[in-house]
Chains A and B, each alone.
Chain A
Amino acid sequence: MSLQLSAFLTLLVLSLAVPIILFLLLRASLTDLLRHTLKVQAGVTFYLRSFLLILFLSSLSAAIGTSFCLKPDSRFMEYVWKGAEGVSSTLEKTLWFVAVYLVLITILVATLKIKDDK
């Protein structure tokens, strides 16, 4: 296996691991929060699935967009640096979209829950 391909596959595995870990960490509390806020059960499922999609799509979009097109005589560390660049862009994109999702969920909870609590 060429160094280029193995670097790309490593980045791909890392970019799949990040959303899986984040989703497993947040799933239970997010489900609780949504169940407490939404009266429609389908809404809870919809927002959970869209959270999963947001995590995977943002992460994979950044990872696949990273090009390992280096010179043929490139050294091992040059591939590592390129991989680190890919990880950086993966985490950055994931962070931004999770932030957008978080803002949306906060607005959802603030708007829908206050009236129900009354």
Chain B
Amino acid sequence: MTNERYLIASYFAGAALSAGLGTIVYLFLRRPFGGVADAASGKRLSPVLKRLLPWGLLFPALLGFVSVSYEGCNRHTYKEIVQDRGYLVEKNQEQISSVLLYILVAVVFWDVIVFLILKYAQDCRNEPQLPQVDD
């Protein structure tokens, strides 16, 4: 396989892998997140959150993939990039690493969202009790 063919194949395989990883993480978190959204947030908020979750994991995965540039300090032209297989493999590793990191940041972000949902639910539960305390 020539370096150019390797570049094309690995680039599209990497894009598919990043979308796949985003989807796997979504499927892993979908049910508990849906449970939290249903139990803790209102009827209008829950479907919105559940629809946002897949995009909130898939987009960061793709963003992580496309954020890696093949141009380096000593490699500015296409020929320079393609001439070294080791450099291409290194860039593929960098892409996967970046995808994982962006998904990781997205997971932390959704952790914060779940915390806010739970806090909102708790405030709603405590609200009707306030007048009783005053009485």
On A, residues with C-beta under 8 Å from B are 38, 40-43, 45-47, 49-50, 53-54, 57-58, 60-62, 64-67, 69, 97, 100-101, 104, 107-108, 111-112, 115-116
Answer whether A61 and B32 are a contact pair too, CB < 8 Å, given A38-B118, A40-B40, A69-B89: no
Q: Is the interface of B mostly helix, strand, loop or mixed?
A: helix
Give chain B residues whose Cβ lies under 8 Å from the Cβ of A47: 111, 114
User: Are A43 and B29 in contact, with the CB atoms below 8 A?
Assistant: no
Contacts of B13 in A (CB 8 A): none
Answer whether A46 and B33 are a contact pair too, CB < 8 Å, given A40-B40, A104-B108.
yes
What residues of chain A lie closer than 8 Å to B4, measured between beta carbons?
Answer: none
B interface residue numbers (CB < 8 A to A): 25, 28-29, 31-36, 38-40, 86-87, 89-90, 93-94, 96-98, 100-101, 103-104, 107-108, 110-112, 114-115, 118-119, 121-122, 126
A40 touches B100 (CB 8 A): no
- Further 8 A-B residue pairs, CB within 8 A, beyond A40-B118, A42-B33, A112-B122: A40-B36, A43-B36, A43-B40, A45-B32, A53-B104, A64-B97, A64-B100, A97-B108
**Do the beta carbons of A43 and B111 come within 8 Å of each other?**
no
- B115 & A104 in contact (Cβ 8 Å cutoff): yes
Task: State whether B32 touches A42 (Cβ < 8 A).
Answer: yes
Given A42-B34, A53-B25, A58-B104, A65 contacting B111 (CB threshold 8 A): no
